[in-house]
Amino acid sequence: MRAPETIICVDCGGTCHLLPHPETEFEPGDPVAYRCADCMDRWDLVTPDEGDDGRGDEPPTI
C-alpha cells in the first residue's frame, strides 16, 4: 500500500508531507512519518490493517 503524500496537520491545519520517499510501499502496521510544512510538527501514523474501518477498538453498537 502507498501512504498519502500529504495529510492535514491536526494542530495548525497546514500540509504535512511524507518523510520517506512517496514511492515507498508500506505493509499494514508499518509506521509512516509526516512533517508539517507550517508548524514543523512531526506526525507518526500506523498504516491500517486490511479490513480496518478506522474506529479503533470500540465495541460494535447495537
For residue range 8-38, what is the model confidence (pLDDT) as tens digits?
999 999 999 999 776 778 899 999 999 999 9
Non-local (6+) Cβ contacts of 25 within 8 A are 1, 2
Report pLDDT for 25.
85
pTM of the model: 0.72
SS3 label, residue 33: strand
Predicted local distance difference test score (pLDDT) of residue 56: 55
Give the mean pLDDT of the chain.
83
